[in-house]
Amino acid sequence: MENTLYNSLFFIAFIFYSLSAMKRILAIISTILTCSLASAQSVDVYHSGILSSYSADELEDIAFEHEATGSTVSIHKAGEEPLRITTDNVAGIHFSDRPVDTCTKYADGVPAQVVFSCIEVNNTNPLQHLNFHLRKSNKNLFDAVILFSSNINFSKKEDVVYIHNNENVQPVLNNWEHYIKPLKERGIKVLLSLLGNHDGSGLANLDEQRAKLFAQAIADTLDKYDLDGVFFDDEYSEYNKGLSGQGYQGFLASPSYEAASRLAYETKQAIGDKWLVLYKYGYYNMAVSIDGKKPGDYVDYVLTDYNQSAAGFKTQYPGVDDRQIGCYSVNINGYYNKKNIKNLRTGKYGAFMIYNLDQTAYDFSYSKQMTLEDFSDYLFDDELEVTETYYYKDWKTIDELKEPVR
């Protein structure tokens, strides 16, 4: 009886001591963070995907409230990389300097779809994506912008497969600080698209050696312009045109799914953590294992053609899971099925692509904006807010910005 009473008193004392110690630690943390946030008007706290803003002097109470439940809180000053505060147990807190994902949207308690916008750079300024955000979560509507498009081409003179940027793509890349940096600062990834360009080279007819060389060229380009990934679209190549019987090495007699998969695999090896995204079309309508790795191991996302479902995906892309699948893509100027968009959510597929967005189009505000509002509602239970800052195509397509003729 005495031992039981003694143990109970000891346990109560330990609890009070632990809580007191935790409050002291939190007070120290609060002081440190409040000092570092002295110039900030508010503190943004991301918890379970929800954003709340608090004044700096509320920090200690907020941190204590969340840490007492053993949860994770992210605290950062606007425009700076967040800190993550975690607790191993009720009596201890430690810091981690890992960046916290402040962009992921949630629906039904799980991460919702990654929304890609594939824009025609010939007509459209990518900065327009800064204008679309969700009211309740305060997240970006668009997670990634695909610059459509650079091309794969072959130089007979130099005997090299290379990336060609036309007179619209090149100025956007050259002026990275103006056109790309603001998107990345808002947490929006920027990807370069690669498309065939009416010559004999393509994404699906390179042998292993040429695939490795071109994959490295892609990696070098992404690094040069600080881009977040690449998007492969197997269209508009005229496979082996002008190559057959000309003595050029490194091209297969016929394009194939295996060659397309080889290039995808080698590209992923070269670009590492950056995204490899495939458009499920042409010789990327399916993919095969390369060097013992299934497509699900080397592809980040696969996006379908317009209004196409995920039927057959697991057979055509072995190893992919639902989070890597983006189905029911929509051309903003065309038809979409409301049921399909809702199926994206119920099926818990990981991605969705919108093509040809242009906020400066004459019918945007009374037609296409309504479509985006529907998507925001169906996918995220949220309301779209649109800023009417119009970003027009404002770069000069002068000869000096064109790549040299090869």
CA dihedral 37, 40, 41, 45 (to 10 degrees): -60
Amino acid at 399: D
**By three-state DSSP, how is residue 67 classified?**
helix
Q: What angle do CA 268, 274, 276 make, to 5 degrees?
A: 50
CA-based nearest residue to 161, from 173, 150, 146, 172:
150
| Count of Cβ atoms closer than 10 Å to residue 403 Cβ | 14
Q: How far apart are CA 327 and CA 344, in angstroms?
A: 7
Contact (CB, 8 A) for 271 and 214: no
Q: How far apart are CA 136 and CA 380, in angstroms?
A: 10
**Half-sphere exposure for 156 (CA within 13 Å, toward CB):** 10
Catalytic residue status for 60: no
Locate the DSSP E strands across 98-255: 106-107, 110-111, 114-120, 132-134, 144-155, 160-164, 189-195, 229-233
Q: What share of the chain is helix, strand, coil (3-state, %, to 5)?
A: 35, 25, 40
Task: Give the distance, in angstroms, between the CA of residue 208 and the centroid of all CA atoms in the same chain.
Answer: 28
From first CA to last CA, the distance across the chain in angstroms is 93
Catalytic residue among 235, 238, 258, 403: 235
Catalytic residue list: 235
